[in-house]
Amino acid sequence: MKLSEMRADTCGEVKSLKGDERFLSRITSIGLNEGASFQVVKNDRKMPVLIFVRETLLALNRQDSENIEVMEVKA
Amino acid sequence: MNTIALLGQPNSGKSTIFNQLTGSRQHVGNWPGKTVEKKDGSFTYNNTKYTLVDLPGSYGLSGNSDEELITEKFIKGGEADLVCVLVDASQLERSMYMLADFASMDVPAILILNMMDVAGDQGKEINDRLLSERLGIPVLTFTAAEGKEYGKLRELIEQELKTPHRLVTAPVIDAGTNDTGVSAGKMLAEGQAKYAWISSLLEGVTNTKQTKYKLSKFDTLMVRPVLGKVVTVGIILVGFLAAMLIMSPFMGVAGMLPGLLGAPIANFLTGLNVHPWLVSVFSLIIPNTIYFCISMAAFVFGVNVVFGFLEEIGFLARAAYQFDGALSKLGLQGKAVAPILMGMGCTIGGASGTRVMDSWGQKMLTMMVVWAVPCASIWSIIPVISGMFFPIWGTLLVCVGIIAYIFVLMFLVSKVFGKSLIPEDAKAGMIMELPPYHKPHWRYIIKEAWIKCFDMFKRALKTVTLVSVIFWAFSYSPTGNVESSLLYKVGTTIEPVTRFFGLGWQTFMAFISAAFAKEAVLGTLNAVFAGQSDVASVAFNASAGGVDTMALSAYMTSAISGAEALAFMFACTFSVPCLMALSTTYKESHSLKWTLKTAGFYVAAALLLSCIVYHIAALFIG
């Protein structure tokens, strides 16, 4: 599923990233590479997705988060 | 040469270190041939002069933007004798990515673990010695906002320039990397290798475990879609009240200058038998210019202290989260919210606040959007003028109309300029960290605000003096009657044209003065409508707060229609915000072309708006 579809307070792992090189390099450098595990902190309609990854609370543009394929992981 | 480069992700404290080390010995320009800002400065330690370069670029060095390419070329070209790589100690694993990107370049380096105070608050321990041993370069634990920390940084820099160290380890990446672009697959593989390298380095260095994150009570409120926005705007409004409190003593003292200095200067010069014409120039213009510049600088100071504080504690990042969705409709991203909100207080502050934007295109577009936000000065004029012509409910309607038009204008700006400033392939959505709330470092906030305010004051003295003299010459009337001034002659000559836009010669002159300073509008109106007295002295004395609005109201209501007044208010509000906003836009964008484009667009759009408002309003209110 897409990151944008995950519910708040669930945990996940990045399966794959889609997009141009600029996006891939940005998203990787901020800590979301393939295999990175994260927690969805808040995910409201029309708002950026708030995730906690590598000790960082990140706000991610909603459109961008649709390019991140994830898998839910039971905490 | 002793050239030191600073390298780090946004929020790593790079600009804090740069500003603290160099103070006011900074030079800001553009990298040759690029619209990327180049910041360098210098400092002296033990009688040796060091040059410090703040390297542009955001998150890595993968050559995906002008900023990253410039940074890579600078380091690879060996232009820096020492590179200080900055990482955030409170988010060590993630921010070490910059070091992983840097590791392939074989140059002398040190690693600065910044934000040790935040890491400490979170109970994180870092074995910096072990990390240093593994890396082969010195590792300095640091808190950038603490002035007392800089002694050890300077000492380390001095020492490392004598006996440099280079990284002894680098991520193992499959061979065959070429410099010109890499495929997506390879980029992803490189990312994996870099994080693997970071993990192996940090093994046993930190005690962090990935724990579940829980939003603080306040954040639970701050991230709510509707309530969060209300709270954000509420806090900003309280912030502006605080800014007013900070600046009012300065303005109060400065406000006494014209009264205190005017007469003594006049008496002194008259005593020296100076021509009365010059006496009037010096006794009128100089004290008023100083007063004006001080009050403007105080404004900039107040706004910057408040927003510096909100930034420092982590509040502005939440505001960016809240408004990312709305701003992406304008082609901007959430980070633009801070400069836009600052613009509600002062456009100058808003324009310089666009430094937080990721790229030049984003920054320029944000500045153009900030211009559309009426500053606090405008709100002190509109009710006065509106009140002369309309009842209270009418004035309320005018204010609502102005607020509604802000959004229209922002939309127009983004439609007209968005595509050329941020082309489709350079679009980047917001990826932003929300730092934990932390205590503000007041000394740092005040120092930063002071640097900005003093810089503004210096520029203002020059430009405002020049413009005052020009204005004075235009409005000088040898007979004391407005009809013998140059202003009147020019104004009435072009009146047939300005009439088309709904502005008579008086309101058109006030419209022009509004582009210099909103504070001058009432004074100019008073001067051109009152007519009989000396235009220059009326305009200047009025800018010091002495407009008799009752008398002005009588003059204006008998001279112009309600429709013209309405058109004038709109034109005045949405024209060039002020001379210093123009100057700041140039200073921040380093582009004369785009500064002029912005000014040209705003003047044209304001006149067009005035024309539309006038002709529609004339149908209803005559």
Quick: pLDDT tens for B438-451.
888 898 899 889 98
CB B314 within 8 A of CB B292: no
B13 vs B18: CA distance, rounded Å: 9
Domain boundaries, chain A: 3-73
Q: Which residues in chain A are contacts of B223 at CB distance < 8 A?
A: 42, 44, 47, 50
The residue-averaged pLDDT of B457-474 equals 83
Q: Does the beta carbon of B191 lie under 8 angstroms from any beta carbon of chain A?
A: yes
Q: Which residues in chain B are contacts of A34 at CB distance < 8 A?
A: 188, 191-192
Among B51-65, B72-86, B321-335, B553-567, name the one with the lowest average pLDDT.
Answer: B51-65
C-beta atoms of A30 and B59 within 8 A: yes
Of B90 and B285, the one with more pLDDT: B90
Q: Which residues in chain A are contacts of B215 at CB distance < 8 A?
A: 41-42
Q: Which residues in chain A are contacts of B90 at CB distance < 8 A?
A: 55
Residue A23, pLDDT score: 85
Binning pLDDT at 50, 70 and 90, where does residue B604 land?
Answer: very high
Residue B210, pLDDT score: 57
Q: Does the beta carbon of B196 lie under 8 angstroms from any beta carbon of chain A?
A: no
B413 CA: distance to closest CA in chain A (Å) = 22
Q: Which residues in chain B are contacts of A23 at CB distance < 8 A?
A: 428
Residue B131, pLDDT score: 95
pLDDT at B178 over 90: no
pLDDT at B534 over 60: no
Q: Tell me which chain A residue has its CA closest to the CA of residue B58.
A: A26
Q: Does the beta carbon of B154 lie under 8 angstroms from any beta carbon of chain A?
A: no
Residue B547, pLDDT score: 67
CB B81 within 8 A of CB B163: no
C-beta atoms of B324 and A45 within 8 A: no
pLDDT at B370 over 50: yes
Q: Does the beta carbon of B433 lie under 8 angstroms from any beta carbon of chain A?
A: yes
C-beta atoms of A29 and B101 within 8 A: yes
- Which parts of chain A register pLDDT below 50? none
CB atoms within 10 A of CB B405: 18
Q: Which residues in chain B are contacts of A49 at CB distance < 8 A?
A: none
Chain A contact residues (CB < 8 Å to B): 17, 20-31, 33-37, 39, 41-42, 44-48, 50, 52-64, 75
Binning pLDDT at 50, 70 and 90, where does residue B177 land?
Answer: low
Residue-range domains of chain B with CATH: 3-171+183-202 (3.40.50.300), 228-376+406-426 (no CATH), 459-621 (no CATH)
Residue A2, pLDDT score: 93
pLDDT at B475 over 50: yes
B584 vs B351: CA distance, rounded Å: 7
**Token digits for B429?**
């959505």
CB atoms within 10 A of CB B454: 14
Q: Does the beta carbon of B256 lie under 8 angstroms from any beta carbon of chain A?
A: no
Residue B571, pLDDT score: 97
**Token digits for B433?**
């960290």
Query: Tens digits of per-residue pLDDT, B17-36?
Result: 998 899 878 887 778 777 78
Question: Considering just the CA atoms, what is the radius of gyration of chain B in Å?
Answer: 28
Binning pLDDT at 50, 70 and 90, where does residue B291 land?
Answer: confident
The residue-averaged pLDDT of B199-225 equals 85
Q: Tell me which chain A residue has its CA closest to the CA of residue B216.
A: A41
Among A26-35, B63-72, B275-284, name the one with the lowest average pLDDT.
Answer: B275-284
Residue B544, pLDDT score: 47
Sign of the dihedral defined by the CA atoms of residues B70, B73, B78, B84, in that order = positive
Query: Tens digits of per-residue pLDDT, B107-162?
Result: 999 999 999 998 988 888 999 999 999 999 999 999 998 889 999 999 999 999 99
Residue B307, pLDDT score: 92
| E strand spans, B118-225 | 139-141
pLDDT at B386 over 60: yes
Q: Tell me which chain B residue has its CA closest to the CA of residue A15.
A: B188
The three state secondary structure string of B532-598 is: CCCHHHHHHHHHCCCCCHHHHHHHHHHHCCHHHHHHHHHHHHCCCCCHHHHHHHHHHHCCHHHHHHH
pLDDT at B213 over 70: yes
User: Which residue, B415, B403, B404, B405, is CA-closest to B332?
Assistant: B415
Q: Which residues in chain A are contacts of B57 at CB distance < 8 A?
A: none
Give CA separation, B209 vs A55, B89, B124, B144, B247, in Å.
9, 14, 10, 25, 46
Residue B477, pLDDT score: 75
pLDDT at B588 over 50: yes
Question: Considering just the CA atoms, what is the radius of gyration of chain A in Å?
Answer: 11
Kindly report the average pLDDT of chain A as a whole number: 90
3-state class (DSSP) for residue A41 = strand
Sign of the dihedral defined by the CA atoms of residues B100, B359, B16, B79, in that order = positive
The residue-averaged pLDDT of B326-349 equals 92
Pairing of strands A56-60, A68-73: unpaired
CB atoms within 10 A of CB B608: 13
Residue B176, pLDDT score: 53
C-beta atoms of B64 and A28 within 8 A: no
pLDDT at B64 over 80: no
Task: Report which listed range, B12-21, B130-139, B415-424, B520-529, is most confident.
Answer: B130-139
C-beta atoms of B215 and A75 within 8 A: no
C-beta atoms of B208 and A47 within 8 A: no
The residue-averaged pLDDT of B537-564 equals 75
CATH number of A3-73: 2.30.30.90
- Chain B, 333 to 362: residues with Cβ < 8 Å from chain A are 333-334
Residue B180, pLDDT score: 47
Sign of the dihedral defined by the CA atoms of residues B14, B340, B590, B44, in that order = negative
